[in-house]
Amino acid sequence: MNRIFRNTIFYLLIFLVIIGVVSFFNGNNQPTEPISYDKFMQELEAGNVEGDLTLQPERGVYEVRGQLEGQEEEKGFITYVWDNPETLNRIEQAAEAADVKILPAKETSGWVTFFTSIIPFIIIFILFFFLLNQAQGGGSVS
C-alpha cells in the first residue's frame, strides 16, 4: 500500500510541475486596468500613451494593451476595439501623431502549444499504465 501511495504522489507531482511550467510560459503576468474605448482614444489623441501599443485579434475584436503616462510602471491598460478598418485606421493615425509604435502581440511558443496538446495523452497513458499494473498485481509484494 505504501508503494502505491508513493507512485501516485510521484505522478501527481510530475503532473503539477508540468501544469506549472505551462501556465508560467502561457500566462500574461502584467496587471492591467480596463478602460473604455472612448477614454483610450482620448488619451491616445492627447498624447498620453507612452511606450508601445500591442493589438491582438481576439474573437471578433482587437485587444489593445499599453501604458498611460503617470501610470505605475508595472501596471498598464487594456481595452477592446471593433475589428473594422475604420477603427483601426483611426488608431493608427492617432498613434502616428502621438509617436507611439503599434507592435504585433506576442505569439505563444510552439513548445507551449506542443506540451499543452500532448499532456492529456501522457496523463491518459500514465493512468492506463497504472491501472493495468494494478490489475495484473504488479504492485503487490510477495
Report the CATH number that the domain containing residue 40 is assigned in CATH: 3.30.720.210
Asked if 91 contacts 102 with a C-beta cutoff of 8 angstroms, the reply is yes
Q: Do 11 and 63 belong to one domain?
A: no
pTM recorded for the entire structure? 0.51
As given in the structure block, the three cell numbers for residue 110 are 510552439
Q: What is the mean pLDDT of the chain?
A: 76
pLDDT in tens, 67-91: 777 766 667 788 888 878 888 888 7
140: confidence class by pLDDT, cuts 50, 70, 90: low
Q: How many domains does the chain divide into?
A: 2
Q: Do 102 and 113 belong to one domain?
A: no
Q: Do 123 and 56 belong to one domain?
A: no
Q: Do 78 and 132 belong to one domain?
A: no
Q: Is the pLDDT of residue 142 over 60?
A: no
Q: Do 35 and 99 belong to one domain?
A: yes
DSSP string, the chain: -HHHHHHHHHHHHHHHHHHHHHHHHH-----EEE--HHHHHHHHHTT-EEEEEEEEEETTEEEEEEEETTS-TT-EEEEEEES-HHHHHHHHHHHHHTT-EEEEPPPPPHHHHHHHHHHHHHHHHHHHHHHHHHHTTTT---
* Number of other CB atoms surrounding residue 64 within 10 Å: 22
Q: Do 16 and 43 belong to one domain?
A: no
Q: Do 60 and 93 belong to one domain?
A: yes
pLDDT in tens, 8-36: 778 878 888 888 777 776 665 567 778 88
**What backbone torsions phi and psi does residue 141 show, to the nearest 5 degrees?**
-105, 125
Q: Do 100 and 35 belong to one domain?
A: yes
Q: Do 83 and 118 belong to one domain?
A: no
The range of the structural domain enclosing residue 5 comes to 1-28+108-142
Q: Do 67 and 102 belong to one domain?
A: yes
